[in-house]
Structure 1
Amino acid sequence: MTDTGFSPERIDTGKPHSARMYDWFLDGKDHYPVDAEAAEAVLRLFPDVKDSAWANREFMQRAARFVARQGVDQFLDVGTGIPTEPNLHQVVQEVTPSARVVYADNDPIVLRHAEALLRGTPEGRTAYLHADVREPEQIVEYAREHLDLTRPVGLSLIALLPFVTDEQDPYGIVRTLLDPLPSGSFLTLSHGGTELFEPEVWERIDAVYRAGGTAVRLRSHAGVVRFFDGLELCEPGVVQATHWRPEPDMRVRTDQPVYVGVARKP
C-alpha cells in the first residue's frame, strides 16, 4: 500500500539530490547525470565516501537485525532512500516473517521503487508514505494506520538528520517521532561527526550539497548522543559505524566518519 501525495513526473532532474547521490555512492543505477557529477565532486574531496556509505548501510542491517532479535516486529523507517538490497524489511522479516514495516521518504524518485519496498514476506506487511521528516506528526499519524503503537516499534533514522538544520529543530523532531512509541521501542540512528572530518574538507563538501539546494550539518559526538536522551543506549553506545557490533562478513571494516547508535525506550 502506498500513500504518495506526489507525482513522480515532478522529479527535478536539474539539481542533484542527496538520496540519489547516496545511490551513486552505493554503486546504484537510480540517479541522474547531475547527481553523478555532484557525487564525483564529493568523491574527489573525500575519497572514502563510498566506504562510508557502505559502512552506514551495513550498520543499518546489523542494527535492524539486532532490534528484531529483541522481539520487535514493527518498524518505522524515515528517510528510506532508494532501495539497496537487502532493505530493512528484508532484514527483519528474515528474523520475524510477520514483521511490519512503514517506510517514509520525501524524494519522489523513491516512489518509482515503492513496489520493491512493498514486496516482503506473505506473512508480513510493508507500507510507504511520501512525507518529509520536518512534518513528523504526519508520519506518526500514517504509522498509526499500519502499526500497533501500543506495542514496541523500531524507529530508524539512518543518515537523515544531517539534512535537518538546527533551525528546523532536529531534536524536537526525534522527540515527536518517539513520544507516541511505547516502552520497549528502539531508536536506531546514524550521523556524520564533526570531529571525524577536517573542517576545510567538510566546508568544500558542504558547498557541493548547497549548490544542489541541500543544507547539510555534521554534529559532534555529544550532539549525536543527545538524540538518545532519556533512552537506554545499547552496547557499545554511540561509536563509529564499523565499531558497532562488527560482524566477520562486513564489506567495510576501516574507521569511517559516521557516528551510530541504538537505544531502547524504557
Structure 2
Amino acid sequence: MTTLKEILKKEKTIFFPVVYDGLTARIVEMNGFEIVWIGGLNVAASNFALPDMGLLTLTEFLERARTIVRAVNIPVICDVETGFGGVNNVRRMVMEFEAAGVSGVQMEDQTFPCRCGSFTGTAVIPVEEYVPKLRAAVEARKSKDFLIVARTDCKPTLGMDEVIRRLNIYADNGADLATAGSPFTLEEYKRVVKEVKIPIKANCSIIDQIGLPFKQWEDTGVKMVGYMVVPLYFSIKAIEKSVQALKNGTIGDMISERASHEDRDRILKMDEWRKWAEQ
C-alpha cells in the first residue's frame, strides 16, 4: 500500500470524500480515490445520530476506524478532534490508532468539548497548551510515515493572521500537514499556502464550493481537498426520500434509483466470499 507520505510527494492535489463507515470507505476506494478520511461530524451523525459537539470517545472513534481500515486497501486518516485529553491521552491515542492500521490523525486546537468548525461559538486553547499535545503525538508514533495533521479553529475569533502564525508554529513542532476549521475562500487558501511552511489541506464544507471544478482548487496550491459533506449529506437526502416514498406508497416510482443486487455484490466482493464458502 502506498503510504500517505508518498502520496503527499506527488505533484498534484489530492481530492477525497469524507467517510463514516466501511461501506462508504469501500465505495470511495472503488471509485479511484487515493485516501480515506474519517470525519468526526460524519461518525457522530451516522453511528449515533448525534451532532458534532465533541460527544464521542476515543473508543468509539477507534472502533469505527478499525472497521474502515479492514474494509479498504488505501491509507486511512482519522479526525481525532482535540485528542481526547491531555498529553498522555494524546500519546495513547496515537499509539492505539497506529496499532489499528490507521495512517494518520488530525488533531485540532479547540477547547473541549469541541464542535463543528462551521458552528458559531468555537473557541481555541492557547498555542502554549496545544504545542505539548502536538509534540506528544509526534513522539508517540512508531513510524514517521504516520501522518500528524494539525488544525486550528482560530479564524472566527482571532483572524487570518493568527491562523498563519499558529500553523507555522505547529509546523515547527512536527506537524506534517496543516488545516483550519471554519469556511475559507479560495483567496484565503492561497494566502495560507503561500505563508505556511507545510502542505495545506482544504476543507470543502461550503455548499457553493462543492461544485467548483478541481482546477480552481488546484490553482490555490493546497495539497489536499476534503469534501466534508460528501457522501453524508447526499446519503441523508437519499434515505429520507426513499422512506418518505415508502410511507406515501410511491416507492415503486423510485425503483430505478436503488442499488441492484449486482451493485451490492460488487461492492461487498461477494464473489470472493462465495469462492471460499464453496470449498
The TM tier, using the shorter chain, reads: 0.3 to 0.5
TM-score (norm 2): 0.34
Structure exhibiting the larger radius of gyration computed from Cα positions = 2
Greater relative contact order (CA < 8 Å, ≥ 6 in sequence): 1
Question: TM-score normalized by structure 1?
Answer: 0.35
